[in-house]
Amino acid sequence: MQIHVVKQGETINAIANTYRITAKAIIDANELEAPNNLVVGQALVIPIIGQFYFVQPGESLFTIANKFGLTYQELARINQIPVTMTLQVGLRLYIPPLPKREITSNAYVEPLGESVSETLINSATKNAPYLTYLAPFSYRVNRDGTLNAPPLDNFKQIAASNKAALMMVITNLEGAAFSTELGHIILTVQAVQNTMLDSIINVAKEVGFTDVHFDFEFLPKEDREAYNTFLRKAKERLAQANLLLSTALAPKTSATQKGILYEAHDYAAHGEIVDFVVLMTYEWGYSGGPPLAVSPINEVRKVVNYALTEMPANKIMLGQNLYGYDWTLPFQPGGNPARAVSPQRAIAIARENNVAIQYNTTAQAPFFTYTDKEGKKHEVWFEDARSIQAKFNLIKELKLRGISYWKLGLAFPQNWLLLEDNFTIKKLIE
């Protein structure tokens, strides 16, 4: 795959000619709603085998070949040019497909209400081929240890038909929020734990879950060791039932990080006990906060670097958002929350308001500002092909286990094309 950023005056046909493919191939791959009205700064995925590279000032066959893990002799042979040739700026070179590493992928899917929407069913059906796990969110623990199940509809059939395993997500949610009090009860009352673990194992066998995933948040800092002790107990019980154990971890950058999100999450202990973890490396920019990139690569890297000091890379799944936010300015704490938008919708907003998409190279994230019909200013941060490729590059560089998406339901076609182009997805189901 190739990533192309639309420049002023470019048309879909001109871009297609540059890469020697049809305009329809680009339109279909990117699910373009308005192919004749591209947005300046919009990132497109070009569906070709391998990619083209355009020579930059000061580059040579050697430097370019080294960038892609080739020898300069190979690069010259592939492009049928002399090895001694001086490269002109802008010369187009063909780079063959690079070897792909196998990774584990997961996506949470969160039905809201008593039933599963058609949008979620369609999203799960469309994207399950790219997943190791499909994770319905969530089984809620009651104060007596019993469970309230999410609506599952036909997620089991969708997963099975695409050889995706089911992940059983367990949370301390009460109402619309994670409950500190409920978390404390779960981690300190043995009778509640026993009832909960019995229920988990029975449901897992009945439904066909492969992994049990604890997402316990807003835990009291005093319960750090109690959580570790509980995980050891859970690991023993779940292993006897041939079930994997995983946890979701708040995005810490040190063992001593303060705050109710972080203090009870012991990276070293989780890395020792569980089969793998999901780092929740998103929500720097969030609905109730000021405009920021949702998962800026510089901040994500800090979390991963710390995690690697506490656990092996093959236990770490990188958390990744599939959405962005549209903030109304000026931001006021406690004011109206930002509106979640899909990457596709973000591009449409830029197009409708005739503004260019910019790219922050530090955060590796696209953004833009616009003024609505009522004269209110907005700032939008979202994900695109460039930002997701930056995360894939980090996974490859640090040899992480894989990626976990929060959450299905918002359209981001470029992500799935690039995921397949970069990696082979591990399947646990034959």
Q: Are 249 and 277 in contact, with CB atoms under 8 Å apart?
A: yes
Within a domain: 312: yes
Structural domain ending residue among the three candidates 95, 126, 148: 95
Q: Are 179 and 142 in contact, with CB atoms under 8 Å apart?
A: no
Q: Is 272 a catalytic residue?
A: no
**Whether residue 162 is found in the same domain as residue 244:** yes
- The pLDDT profile of the chain, 430 residues, written as one tens digit per residue, is 899 999 999 999 999 999 999 999 999 999 999 999 999 999 999 999 999 999 999 999 999 999 998 999 999 999 999 999 999 999 999 999 988 999 999 999 999 888 899 999 999 999 999 999 999 999 999 999 999 999 999 999 999 999 999 999 999 999 999 999 999 999 999 999 999 999 999 999 999 999 999 999 999 999 999 999 999 999 999 999 999 999 999 999 999 999 999 999 999 999 999 999 999 999 999 999 999 999 999 999 999 999 999 999 999 999 999 999 999 999 999 999 999 999 999 999 999 999 999 999 999 999 999 999 999 999 999 999 999 999 999 999 999 999 999 999 999 999 999 999 999 999 998 8
Within a domain: 230: yes
**Whether residue 178 is found in the same domain as residue 55:** no
**Whether residue 91 is found in the same domain as residue 108:** no
Within a domain: 349: no
Within a domain: 347: no
d(CA 45, CA 11): 15
Domain range enclosing 111: 101-322+395-425
Best CA proximity match to 393, nearest among 41, 68, 106, 128: 68
d(CA 22, CA 34): 16
Look at residue 284 in the predicted model and tell me its pLDDT.
98
**Whether residue 145 is found in the same domain as residue 253:** yes
The tens digit of pLDDT for each residue in 116-148 reads 999 999 999 999 999 999 999 999 999 999 999
**Whether residue 125 is found in the same domain as residue 149:** yes
Look at residue 430 in the predicted model and tell me its pLDDT.
80
Look at residue 113 in the predicted model and tell me its pLDDT.
82
Catalytic hit among 217, 283, 310, 383: 217
Q: Into how many domains does the chain fold?
A: 2
**Whether residue 83 is found in the same domain as residue 180:** no
**Whether residue 123 is found in the same domain as residue 61:** no
Look at residue 371 in the predicted model and tell me its pLDDT.
98
Within a domain: 261: yes
**Whether residue 216 is found in the same domain as residue 115:** yes
**Whether residue 75 is found in the same domain as residue 217:** no
Within a domain: 81: yes
155: CATH: 3.20.20.80
Within a domain: 12: yes
**Whether residue 85 is found in the same domain as residue 107:** no
Structural domain ending residue among the three candidates 56, 73, 95: 95
**Whether residue 110 is found in the same domain as residue 90:** no
How far from chain centre, in Å, is Cα 243? 24
Within a domain: 362: no
∠ CA(283), CA(286), CA(288), 5° rounding?
145
Q: Are 350 and 357 in contact, with CB atoms under 8 Å apart?
A: yes
Look at residue 112 in the predicted model and tell me its pLDDT.
87
**Whether residue 115 is found in the same domain as residue 179:** yes
Structural domain ending residue among the three candidates 41, 68, 95: 95
63: CATH: 3.10.350.10
**Residue 165: what residue type?**
A
